[in-house]
Structure 1
Amino acid sequence: MRYARTTVVGGALATVMTLGLLAGTATAGAPAAESAESKKVQARESSLTGSATMDRGKNGERVSFSFDAHGFAPTDVGGTSRGTFHFSHHSADGKRGADFEGRIDCLLTGGRIATATGVITRSDHPDRRVVGKRVGFTVYDNGRHDQVGYSWAVDSIPTMNVPRCLSAAPYETVKNGDFTVRHVLPPTPVEEVR
């Protein structure tokens, strides 16, 4: 997993480094009110944080996402990703929909873009198969008009099979709220050649 040979983490890091160059390596600016200690902690690792509701136009659906994800790459290949997510989707009349929450198992960042996956640990959805399913999110931290995409845009949560660290393009625009992506590329692990 290290090198002398490229590994999953090394490959992921190279991919994210390329994304960072393409997207611009500047990270979102920190609010002026942050303490110096807070800035030091934030500078040590990548993160995806914040909450927002989506702009669903005139259909009145209520869709929201919250993230508190930190680290980089999946832990089973030497990464440090961890955290939580929450999302909900309800019809305008409140008669249909559900809330979901879970734990993050992968976070990858590049510039202002973050892709995360996580496993649903709790939901009030009527189909109990959703608990234990992995879902994916991609966020573009674009200032006032952040965008988010999610894996169930192309399949239903109970039947999907999402690999770690993969999701859909960020196609939906935030109406209220804000996401913050902080990109810190960790050093590439190295292992002795045997």
Structure 2
Amino acid sequence: MHPRTKIAAVAVALLVGAGATGAATAAPTREGGAPREAAALTGAAWLDRAPATGEKVHFSFDAHLAWADRDDPRAATGTFRYSHAVGKREFTALVRVDCLATGGPVATVTGIVEETNVPDLRDKRVGVSVYDDGKRDRLGYSWLASTPQTDEVPPCNAAAPHEKVVRGGGDFRVLPWIYDGMAR
């Protein structure tokens, strides 16, 4: 083999190897090799309200932050839903996610209400926080001390997770945020 051909072949092999190594370290992967998301909040649960109140409150989440958007929690996608039944009346909302931040077992997600039967709630931002302890999760919401119809909630803000979900209701799953290569 000509010396120039050997040099070219070695250079190509080095470039291919460097490209493969770079691709392998670009995004962490889950088991099975699928790319890992930068953050996520999924799952559903009922809040643990005293039976005497006659209230049934349910939340479900499907919120995700793609690896490519790991530096921008406002690029999160997905939805969350909640319902609050009091006696024969039920209030519901479907929320389009506009921000997701997680740290360890805690997530805060906000979004714009797209569908609801609550007057003046449509197109308002609401926020929810979740503490995922794997046994008895907790949840908080932006309207704890206000009403979502009147107060503007900033992106990725909510009250601390002050309410417990029903016993055995550890169904929320928080994927800790990886920001700029660092787990948060």
1:161 is aligned, of 152, 155, 159, to: 152
SS of the aligned residue for 1:144 comes to: coil
**What is the RMSD computed on CA atoms of the aligned residues?**
2.1
Q: 1:40 to 1:66 in 2, by over 3 A?
A: same
Name the residue aligned to 1:120: 113
2:98 equivalent to 1:98: no
1:85 is aligned, of 63, 75, 80, to: 80
Mapped partners of 1:44, 1:173: distance in 2: 27
Contact 1:53 1:177 in 2 (8 A): no
SS of the aligned residue for 1:48 comes to: strand
Name the residue aligned to 2:139: 148
2:66 equivalent to 1:67: no
Which consecutive segments of 4 or more residues in structure 1 shift more than 3 A? none
Listed one character per residue, the Cα deviations across residues 33-77 of structure 1 (whole Å, up to 9, x for unaligned) are xx933x744x332100001001001212010000000117xx8x8
Corresponding letter in the other structure for 2:57: V
2:154 equivalent to 1:130: no
Mapped partners of 2:157, 2:112: distance in 1: 13
Name the residue aligned to 2:45: 52
Corresponding letter in the other structure for 1:69: A
Q: 1:105 to 1:149 in 2, by over 3 A?
A: same
Question: Where does structure 1 lack aligned partners over 5 or more consecutive residues?
Answer: 1-34, 189-194
Contact 1:120 1:133 in 2 (8 A): yes
Corresponding letter in the other structure for 1:109: T
1:109 is aligned, of 90, 99, 102, to: 102
Q: Identity percentage over the alignment?
A: 40
Contact 2:92 2:117 in 1 (8 A): yes
Relative contact order higher in (CA < 8 Å, ≥ 6 apart) = 1
| TM-score normalised per structure 1 | 0.69
| TM-score normalised per structure 2 | 0.72
SS of the aligned residue for 1:152 comes to: helix
- Count residues with an aligned counterpart: 145
Contact 2:101 2:177 in 1 (8 A): no
Question: Where does structure 2 lack aligned partners over 5 or more consecutive residues?
Answer: 1-29
